[in-house]
Amino acid sequence: MFSIRLATFVACSALFASFPAFSQSGSCLGAVQWTAESGGNGHYYARIFEPMNWEDARIRAEVLGGHLATVTSQAENDFVMPLCLAGGGPGSWLGGKRIGKSWTWVTGEPWSFTNWAPGEPNNTNGMEFYLLNWIGSLQWNDGGNNYPGTFIVEWEVLPTTDCDGNGACDLGEIIANPALDSNLDGVLDACQCVAPHPNAVLWPAASGGNDHYYARIAQALTWEQARVTAQQLGGHLATITSAAENAFITPLVIDGSNNVSHLGGYRVQNGWAWVTGEPWGYSNWYPGEPNNASGDENFLATWVSPGTWNDVFPSYLAHFVVEWGPGVHDCNNNQICDIEEIAANSNLDINRDGTLDSCQCIADVVADGAINGVDLARVINDWGMASSAADINRDGIVSGADLALVLSSWGPCAP
Ligand code: MAN
Ligand code: CA
């Protein structure tokens, strides 16, 4: 765990004493302070090695609690510009932007000091509106937005949260390893519930979905390889059991070529089955399919006309749709994945549907948006029945436990 690299960025407290430049107790290394003792403004600066365009870097800097560095004096220039080079790599964006004919700083500070390289700013092709160092140089250049630069962030006050309690400031951890903030929200992934895959989209219960996530993985694999890969990603090949679910995934399978993606269906003796064991019911075969064209078309894929399905042979290479859930997300926004909360306390999901009951209105038996006399009447009417919507806790019988759930949550469902 402890490494040379650690020494370059972490020192919420312990290492602090050995770095006199870092004059603020509780500060994070990785950002260097231009100290008052050395004639500075007390601000902190760091070069972020996440190549991106200027507009994205501007947002990223703000998400990290600072702003793209503004270099408004010779002294600040002398402190900041070497950071643009340290560690090599591409040029480093700074917080200057051309608006019309004039240059501005992202903070609104007046534009006066400049340090342009000879011949700059030259606005090549009329598209260079953004400030960065000339690659390998301490002087300035104007660049086009789409250049994948590193960037310099400046903080007046350094955020010092340590959300995972590991003694290392979160900001310092992210500066050292941007992958620790994969969803780019400025919070360590370790402290929140992040989507299971960068491409994953949620089909929210609130809009009639199942709270599962889906992603098309753009890797051409056989169905069997795709099945295994989906598992390795923590999910399974998507199982499409309703027209609504098929409609939800259809935009995901449009891939700019043939729109074929493996799904989690496979041929069994008397028909088809899903990898999850869910019953086979809904299907949406392309006209004439499944035709078992080669005698071994035992696997399900979406077909050329988006939304339709085909049976394909074992060596057919295609992208594939992975499904995750339920409960991989964080419906109550408490930074703990719902699935973990439920695993720790099964009472939080009394109807065992994989979603926290607190995010649903489980006692709204007739689904009219409130828990009221209609639901109560339904419980009493179905008393003792084995299979009824009034069996709120899904224990196999409509009983006093269900009645208690109605009474204890009486009133309108939360929005
Ligand atoms: C054609 C049709 C399909 C078959 C594929 C296999 O498109 O016969 O039914 O699955 O070829 O590539
Ligand atoms: Ca076929």
Which domains, and CATH codes, for the chain?
32-157 (3.10.100.10), 201-324 (3.10.100.10)
Atom 4, ligand 1: residue with shortest CA distance:
293
pLDDT 10s digits, 349-358: 998 877 789 9
Cα separation, 173 vs 299, in Å, equals 44
Cα separation, 389 vs 398, in Å, equals 9
Atom of ligand 1 nearest to the CA of 291: 9
Distance 312 CA to ligand 1 centre (A): 7
Q: What is the pLDDT of residue 216?
A: 98
Q: What is the pLDDT of residue 13?
A: 33
- Does this model's pTM top 0.95? My answer is no
Atom of ligand 1 nearest to the CA of 290: 9
Mutate to test the pocket of ligand 1, among 260, 297, 305, 310 (most ligand atoms within 8 A of CB): 310
- In the structure, which protein residues have their CB atom closer than 6 angstroms to any atom of ligand 1? 289, 291, 293, 297, 310-312
Strand partners, 140: 116, 133
Distance 201 CA to ligand 2 centre (A): 29
Strand partners, 213: 202, 324
Atom 2, ligand 1: residue with shortest CA distance:
293
Atom of ligand 1 nearest to the CA of 312: 10
pLDDT 10s digits, 249-292: 999 999 999 999 999 999 999 899 999 999 999 999 999 999 99
Atom 6, ligand 1: residue with shortest CA distance:
312
